[in-house]
Structure 1
Amino acid sequence: MGDACPPRNGEGDHAKHGGGGYETPSARGAPPPPSGFTGRSPSPFRGGYLPLTLALRDLRGGLAGLRLLAVCLFLGVLALAGVGSLSASIVRGLSDQGQAILGGDVQADVAQREATPGELALLRREGAVSHVTRMRAMAARPDGSETMLVDLKGIDAAYPLYGDFRLAPGAIAPRPGAGQVAIGPELGERLRVGVGDPVRIGNALFTVAGIIAEEPDRPGQGFTLGPPAIVDRAGLAATGLVQPGSLYTSLYRIRIAPGTELEPVTKRLETRLADAGFDVDDRTNSAPGTRRFIERVGQFLTLVGLTALVVAGIGVGNGVSSWLDMKRGGIATLKLLGATGGTIFRIYLIEIGLVAGGAIAAGLAAGALVPWVVVQVAGDALPVPPALGLHPLPLAASAAYGILIALVFALLPLARAREVPAASLFRGAVASSARGLRANAGMLLAVALAAAGIAALAIFTAREPLFAAGFIAAALGLLLMLSLLGGAIRALAARLPRPKSPLLRLALANVHRPGAQTGRLVVALGLGLTLFTTLAVIETNLAGQIRTTIPQRAPSFFLLDIPVGEIDRFRSLAKQAAPEGDLVTVPSLRGSVVAVNGQRVADMESIPDGAWMLRGDRGLTYAATPPGSSRVVEGEWWPADYAGPPLVSVDVEGARALGLKPGDGLTFSILGREFDARIANLREINWDTMGFNFAIVFAPGALESAPHSFMATIAMPADEERGFARAVSNAFPAVSAIRVKEIVQTVSDMLGQLTVAVRSAASVAILAGIAVLVGALAASRRARIYDSVILKLLGATRARILGAQAIEFVGLALVLAAVAFALGAAAGWYVVVQVLELEWAPDWPIVLATLAAGAAVTLVLGLLGTLPALAAKPAQALRTL
């Protein structure tokens, strides 16, 4: 299927009939050709296997021209298959290790108290029970010189019911016994203690029994601010930390008998314990917070990967167009020999299908290996060890995406090659293809159906379909806008006055001349630069929040579990230890909303989105005056000396999610006792103050008699922090002092891990964008070589030709940089303000520098892509073009 020279006669008849109308040898007096090659029938292309034979024969010459298609599909499918496989492997790991992660088949937990004898008997009727208590506490060296917040866990002899609890080699006991504690390695490093050394927690002094190597239920505990410290039940009691009003959680894990159905046990306990304030989970939902986080991050990264695949699809279209442009001579020859448009379509569709299938298969294979690679590189950062193996559903979805994307972007170039007459093909790339577009309404419909299939697959497989639909709509809107912008730039360039400078005139002509790839270049450059800008805006905004906004507003310490009877002594100590400190104290206890206007929460079919105050227990407080971080927006605040029936002030967002208004009633359960309260007002809360913000505030008189404690914040100069922490640790060993700098570092580490994941997925989209740019340049290769040769013949030097092309790319880059800045800033604002609900504070110099670097990279790639045209030899080029 090499190039062929056009016939000398019959060209008009061929153009009229679409192939086969040429002057035969017999018409010139020569012997007739073999049967089947005279006229239009019979045709040598009527055989059922001939398109496949010709396609395979053509592929023997190599993949020149189809490499871009293969690279783009490989990158896009790799991104989708990798993200999907990793997410599925972690979720499967949560399911497979559900018993160990939860600590039992079923878990019932309650805040600020232990189960009553009757409740404990109810639990034991379902199976073997293990009792674990969790709370925050301060661990310190005996002299108080170093302190650290820990996640303290008191375990019984039955712990763990499932999985293995293991200490690192060198431990003095297999598990902590009397007067012993097992600690996490971070605590040992911070306090500079090891096995056998003393550590003080609360009022008790412990000996380090060993460093924790394996804690099976750790992944199910969610986000914690400190490393683990594990003691036995007697050791927990010795600390003196479990007091009325202190913040702790009692967890009761149950191992049911083999063969017992899990669901009836869970339902039975939910029904009998719901009114007592217990939350009940089972091994099928062992770490709901972790599962939701993984699924949502996986969904977001999947959409980023889908964007990469759509970007890659544009590269597929460019690659197919460029490849078919290389095949113009072969297509013309086949048509002149009697091949129909359908035969040509099938030949090249088979070739594209074979190459696309290979690229998709390679992308799936590489994506399936992503979980193994992540485990080797960053396994310790994962919340749970992934269940390594093949995950068919994400791989099948990725393959479907790849096939549909290939169809969407390859069918139209193929349709144009099928319909354009041979005479038009021989005239070169500037021939009009309007006839092909008019003749392919059915092909346009097929493309539309394939695109609809992509959108439907993304939406119906999403955890949040509306979010996925909005994401896809935004991506399609961006593609449409860039496509329209490309057409507008080309039209504007055609109407601008011609510059006097030949170099500028040539650069301007390159933008709008026939066969110019301006539209594709605009889409490729625009997508890449917009993505660069969006990521820069989000990342600098997050970094700015942590680096500047949070430290400026945050106090130096959060202090928890201050006994009510010791609050005055604590205030006095704080004044002495931090004379310049600004201390704020508030009462605190835990409780849950169990009924809304008389309807039990347990009887609700579903809890509305945004009504998070109904999910589990909440922090409660009481106050005579409105909190400084709140503003009453509906109703009235109670008098400072109020002494009537219980009143509450509720967060306005949560109230509106439930349709509540002042005068409505809520029923609370606190420490197992229920009482009713009436809503007095709704408040708008400023959650960015970094102080104590309570969604529910009681009027004075309702909670003072309940066991509770105080919480405090204190802001002080940095040079007073160490002395203050030491003084609090020595005088109030039961008080947890949380240094804000440590919280910021923990959050920074988490955001850093998320940023790495987003960058990894986005890098594939960026690589795909680069491939699209290369494809757009490849698609215009013939026209650029032709222009370069003609200009050389007219006396132009390579420097002048390169200068004209540089001006062309610089002009496009400047226009698109401005557009990308506006689009990227808008997208970044939506993510930061609307999704993450943070303040808008990006670092504009870094954003602009990132945008400039991206534009420079694309400019260099564009110029490198034009070098082959400059190297073309006029004599050889004129013979082949």
Structure 2
Amino acid sequence: MQSSLSSSIDRMGQYLGALGVIALLMGGIGVAMIVRTFMAQKLDTLAILNCLGASSKTLFKVYLLQSMLMGLAGSLLGVGLGFALTFLLPPKMEGLINLKLEPVFYWIPALQSLLLGCTTTLLFCLWPLIRAVRTRPLRLFRRNLDEEEKQSTRWEGWLSTLTLGLGLAAMICWQAESIKRGLIFLSALLISAGVLALASLFFLKLLKALPQSGSIARRYGMSNLRRPNNQATSIITCLGMGIMLILTVRLVQMDMLAMLNKNTELSPPNYFFIDIQNDQKEIFTEVVDQIAPEAEQTLTPLVRSRLQSIDGKLTANWQYKDRKREEWFINREFVLTYMAGPPPKDNEVIKGEWWDETRAKNAEVSLEEDAARRLNAKIGSELTVDIQGIPVTATVTSIRKVNWRNMRTNFYMIYSPGALEGAPLTYVATVNVPDSKELELQHAIVEALPNITALSTRDIVDTVESTVTRLTTLVDFMSGFAIAAGLFILSGSIASTKFRRLRESAILKILGARRKVVSSILGIEYATLGVISALVGIALAQGLSWAVMKYMIKSDWHVQPVTMAWAFSFAVLITVATGILSSLDVIRDKPLKTLRESEN
């Protein structure tokens, strides 16, 4: 159980880093939209400067500098907010590591964050800047932004895309601290974004195929999703990814807690008693029988060792494929045991045969399946371990599948009695005692045998549940940035089409439409975006959580309809709220004001 939990926590840590990168990239898309909106407001200025002799190269440098200064300001603000959060998060972290944490400002991570923020700004602002600075003086007499944006050449588009792709790959590999893991993550990110984009296009096409509604608000709201430069696909993709990430973590957390509860229902032992010496076995048994004669108890011999060789291949000369991941396992201290009877509970022999009474006198060993894979061992392999300087060699005769979550003593290597005869050993005991006698038994054992360590499975389960919950809180916090980035993109998209929306709302108001109608049009548009984002994100979260539970955590997966319903409602609500708040001037402004500003 400890091995499985540790690997799961490590993966959660990697997931936290991945969420940070995803939020950064989604924020980059928002930067591109904001820069595009900013440059759309400067097109007249660009055309005038072009008339006065300013080249596209000069204009590009000027507005690139402005964009980078805004990116630097945003990055500095992010570093400041990040440091401020260190005063809020330590209480969550202290519960995980049992250490007192004091907020300290570190310059290197701060500078790295600034570099990432500025690099992201640079990569994502290139394309909108290149398109904008090609504005010609004709702009002053003919205002057609859609045609102007098509003036950029194909090679400029390919160059911007190539620069963006290489820059993102370099940033992700740097964050992952491995080119291989970085490229795998980038591939997974591109596949997820591709699936989300295709799903959003499918739903938008489906909406287009639906019959026209008789309601003017519904008809206009739906048509807004198909307007030029509406960014609906980008919004759905980013919001859907944020929903997918945060819901996946929540579903995995619920399944992990269900797994723990299921294991506790199997009546695991209440206590583990560690470091029982050979001459203390009888005293230990007498104390248990005296306090709780009805208690179920087992004594398991333990022998500590280190791996020396496999089939003559010394561990000192081991060829690692991934040294960081493999070295700890090869060089760790292995705790062995031996038994003459059948395999222990929740140990299934999947290859080879378990020894019988006759073969128990031979030097044989049974390996857990994951250990066999890591050691590249098979039936018939010769395994040599070092026990206090003495090499002990045994033949691998079986491979087992072990349920590490049963809260019982489990081993990578189980030997036949003949292999470890005469080896120095201690014992670990498991005791299943009524709840009312737990403390009495613990005090009696510690008083009679002070060297023994008592571990309560109840405390272990509580610690695991607390750890999972606290980690999930941190992951939810990071996932919230992904959601916020999606909403930022939604706001940027609204800003990029703000002038067109203002003109259209002014015309509708002149034709007799009230604010309620305009609000309904916008509400239907944003609600549709929220519904599609939620449906796609929830569907992908279901698939991803199933894959995590089946292939990474290797446990049961459950459908959580209540959680999905809450996620759907929340996604639609925040999308509509963000959209309406970003469009208040479209709803409130008088037609005359809008038309005057448009003329100016």
Structure-2-length-normalised TM-score: 0.86
**Structure 2 counterpart of 1:814:** 531
Is 1:855–2:569 an aligned residue pair? no
In structure 2, relative to structure 1, the CA distance for the partners of 1:512 and 1:604 (3 Å cut) is closer
Deviations 1:75-130 (Å, cap 9, x if unpaired)?
Answer: xxxxxxxxxxxxxxxxxxxxxxxxxxxxxxxxxxxxxxxxxxxxxxxxxxxxxxxx
Structure 1 residue 323 displacement after superposition: 1.5
Secondary structure, aligned partner of 1:431: helix
Q: Which amino acid aligns with 2:45?
A: G
Retained in 1: the 8 A contact 2:43–2:139? no
Structure 1 residue 838 displacement after superposition: 4.8
Instruction: Please say which of residues 553-562 and 308-317 is displaced more in the overlay.
Output: 553-562
**Structure 1 counterpart of 2:42:** 327
In structure 2, relative to structure 1, the CA distance for the partners of 1:295 and 1:860 (3 Å cut) is same
Structure 1 residue 651 displacement after superposition: 1.5
Deviations 1:451-501 (Å, cap 9, x if unpaired)?
Answer: 312212321553444333222222233333334444444444444331222
Q: State the alpha-carbon separation in 1 of the partners of residues 18 and 79 from structure 2.
A: 17
Q: State the alpha-carbon separation in 1 of the partners of residues 253 and 111 from structure 2.
A: 33
The 5 A counterparts of 1:114-153 are: none
Is 1:788–2:505 an aligned residue pair? yes
**Structure 1 counterpart of 2:125:** 410
- The structure 2 residue matched to 1:867, chosen from 579, 584, 588, is 584
Q: State the alpha-carbon separation in 1 of the partners of residues 559 and 460 from structure 2.
A: 22
**Structure 2 counterpart of 1:631:** 348
Structure 1 residue 402 displacement after superposition: 2.3
Q: State the alpha-carbon separation in 1 of the partners of residues 442 and 105 from structure 2.
A: 48
Is 1:522–2:236 an aligned residue pair? yes
**Structure 2 counterpart of 1:715:** 432
Q: State the alpha-carbon separation in 2 of the partners of residues 523 and 762 from structure 1.
A: 15
Instruction: Please say which of residues 305-314 and 733-742 is displaced more in the overlay.
Output: 733-742
Is 1:469–2:183 an aligned residue pair? yes
In structure 2, relative to structure 1, the CA distance for the partners of 1:347 and 1:495 (3 Å cut) is farther
Secondary structure, aligned partner of 1:713: strand
Q: State the alpha-carbon separation in 2 of the partners of residues 389 and 809 from structure 1.
A: 41
Secondary structure, aligned partner of 2:557: coil
Is 1:306–2:40 an aligned residue pair? no
Secondary structure, aligned partner of 1:448: helix
Retained in 2: the 8 A contact 1:635–1:662? yes
Q: State the alpha-carbon separation in 2 of the partners of residues 601 and 823 from structure 1.
A: 43
Deviations 1:415-460 (Å, cap 9, x if unpaired)?
Answer: 22233555567655663356335x1423431342233122123215
Structure 1 residue 563 displacement after superposition: 4.2
Is 1:616–2:332 an aligned residue pair? yes
Is 1:688–2:405 an aligned residue pair? yes
- The structure 2 residue matched to 1:825, chosen from 514, 536, 542, is 542
In structure 2, relative to structure 1, the CA distance for the partners of 1:551 and 1:464 (3 Å cut) is farther
**Structure 2 counterpart of 1:197:** none
Q: State the alpha-carbon separation in 2 of the partners of residues 332 and 613 from structure 1.
A: 66
Structure 1 residue 871 displacement after superposition: 0.9
Retained in 2: the 8 A contact 1:529–1:854? yes
The 5 A counterparts of 1:86-125 are: none
Secondary structure, aligned partner of 1:432: helix
Secondary structure, aligned partner of 1:497: coil
In structure 2, relative to structure 1, the CA distance for the partners of 1:299 and 1:629 (3 Å cut) is closer
Retained in 2: the 8 A contact 1:584–1:712? yes
In structure 2, relative to structure 1, the CA distance for the partners of 1:428 and 1:805 (3 Å cut) is farther
Retained in 1: the 8 A contact 2:132–2:149? no
Deviations 1:758-787 (Å, cap 9, x if unpaired)?
Answer: 344334333333322221221221122122
**Structure 1 counterpart of 2:114:** 399
**Structure 1 counterpart of 2:489:** 772
**Structure 1 counterpart of 2:218:** 504
The 5 A counterparts of 1:96-495 are: 300-336=15-51, 339-364=54-79, 367=82, 388=104, 390-392=106-108, 394-421=109-136, 423=138, 428=143, 431-432=146-147, 435-437=150-152, 439-460=153-174, 462-495=176-209
Structure 2, gaps ≥5 residues long: none
Q: Which amino acid aligns with 1:783?
A: R
Q: State the alpha-carbon separation in 1 of the partners of residues 94 and 254 from structure 2.
A: 27
RMSD over aligned Cα atoms? 3.5
Structure 1 residue 405 displacement after superposition: 1.7
The 5 A counterparts of 1:529-678 are: 529-550=243-264, 552=266, 554-564=268-278, 567=281, 570-571=284-285, 574=288, 577-578=291-292, 581-604=295-318, 606=320, 609=325, 614-624=330-340, 625-678=342-395
Secondary structure, aligned partner of 2:583: helix
Retained in 2: the 8 A contact 1:420–1:435? no
Q: State the alpha-carbon separation in 1 of the partners of residues 12 and 441 from structure 2.
A: 40
Is 1:699–2:416 an aligned residue pair? yes
Structure-1-length-normalised TM-score: 0.60
Structure 1 residue 853 displacement after superposition: 2.1
In structure 2, relative to structure 1, the CA distance for the partners of 1:786 and 1:480 (3 Å cut) is farther
In terms of fraction of residues, the more helix-rich structure is 2
In structure 2, relative to structure 1, the CA distance for the partners of 1:535 and 1:848 (3 Å cut) is farther
Retained in 2: the 8 A contact 1:411–1:447? no
Q: Which amino acid aligns with 1:648?
A: V
Structure 1 residue 813 displacement after superposition: 1.6
Q: State the alpha-carbon separation in 2 of the partners of residues 549 and 697 from structure 1.
A: 23
Q: State the alpha-carbon separation in 2 of the partners of residues 475 and 799 from structure 1.
A: 40
Structure 1 residue 821 displacement after superposition: 0.6
Q: State the alpha-carbon separation in 1 of the partners of residues 202 and 142 from structure 2.
A: 27
**Structure 1 counterpart of 2:522:** 805
Retained in 1: the 8 A contact 2:320–2:327? no
Q: Indicate the percent of aligned positions where both proteins have the same amino acid.
A: 28
In structure 2, relative to structure 1, the CA distance for the partners of 1:379 and 1:838 (3 Å cut) is same
Structure 1 residue 657 displacement after superposition: 2.4
In structure 2, relative to structure 1, the CA distance for the partners of 1:413 and 1:878 (3 Å cut) is same
**Structure 2 counterpart of 1:19:** none
Max Rg structure:
1
Secondary structure, aligned partner of 1:632: strand
Q: State the alpha-carbon separation in 2 of the partners of residues 804 and 580 from structure 1.
A: 72
Secondary structure, aligned partner of 2:378: coil
Structure 1, gaps ≥5 residues long: 1-222, 224-289
Q: State the alpha-carbon separation in 1 of the partners of residues 216 and 85 from structure 2.
A: 53
Q: State the alpha-carbon separation in 2 of the partners of residues 401 and 819 from structure 1.
A: 30
Structure 1 residue 740 displacement after superposition: 0.8
**Structure 2 counterpart of 1:282:** none
Retained in 2: the 8 A contact 1:646–1:678? yes
